[in-house]
Amino acid sequence: MDINTPDTSSDRPSALKLAVIIGSNRDGRFGPTVANWFLSRAARREDFTVDVVDLADADLPTALSYSPSPGVRAELAKLTPKLAAADAFVVVTPEYNHSFPAGLKNVIDRHFGEWQAKPVGFVSYGGISGGLRAVEQLRQVFAELHAVTVRDTVSFHNAGAHFDDEGNHRDPAAPDAAAKTMLDQLSWWAEALRSAKSVRPYAG
C-alpha cells in the first residue's frame, strides 16, 4: 500500500480505522518515502484499516476564521470526515527548526472533537535528532486536544541515507520492530477507547 493506492481493507468491519497523516506539504519533501514505508507495514495488520490524509492535498490558508470561505469549507469537507471517522492516528512528520510543520499545526487547530479520546502515534524523520523534537512538541499539542499519544515512536535519523532510490529501507529490521511496537500500543489504546466510548461518551 502507498499514498496513491486506495484502501482495500474496508471488508474488515470490526477493524480499527487508522488515519495516517503526512504532515509535510513542502515542495521536494521526503515525507512520501517515509509514509510509503510505514504504510506497507501498517497494511500487513489485521487489526487496522488504513486511510491516508496527505496534507499536500489540503489547500488551506494559515489564517483561521470563524466564517471560512466557500473554498476553505470545500477543502475541510474532504479532510474532516477522514479525521472524524478514524479510531486512531499516525502522524508522519519532519522536524523544521526544532518543531513540526506549520501546515500540520494548521490542520490540527482547525479540528477539536475529531481528535478527542483517540490515540496518536508518530513516525518522524530528520537529521541527527530524527524528528524527535517535533514529536515532543506534538505530544503537548495533542494532550490539549484530549488525545492520547502512545509512548513508542518510529524515528529516522539522517533519514535520506537510510532509503534507496526505490524507497526501500536499507536495514529494515530495527524500524520494522519499532513500527510493530508502536502499532501494537496504538491498537490497544484504540480498542480500549472505542469500547469505552461505546458505553459512555467521553466527557471532554
pLDDT of residue 190 exceeding 50, the answer is yes
pLDDT value of position 4: 66
pLDDT of residue 13 exceeding 90, the answer is no
Q: Are 103 and 23 in contact (CB under 8 A)?
A: yes
pLDDT band, residue 65 (cuts 50/70/90): confident
For the segment 73-99, the average pLDDT, to the nearest whole number, is 96
∠ Cα 94 99 100 (to 5°)? 45
- The DSSP secondary-structure symbol of 96 reads B
* Sequence letter at residue 46: E
Q: Is the torsion defined by CA of 153, 157, 160, 164 positive or negative? A: negative
pLDDT value of position 109: 95
What number of residues does the chain have? 204
pLDDT of residue 8 exceeding 70, the answer is no
134-168, pLDDT tens digit by residue? 999 999 999 999 999 999 999 999 998 989 988 88
pLDDT of residue 107 exceeding 80, the answer is yes
pLDDT value of position 204: 79
Return the CATH fold of 16-198.
Answer: Rossmann fold (3.40.50)
Coil, strand or helix: which one is 92? Answer: strand
Nearest alpha carbon to residue 202 among 118, 88, 108: 118
How far apart are the C-alpha atoms of 25 and 59, rounded to whole Å? 10
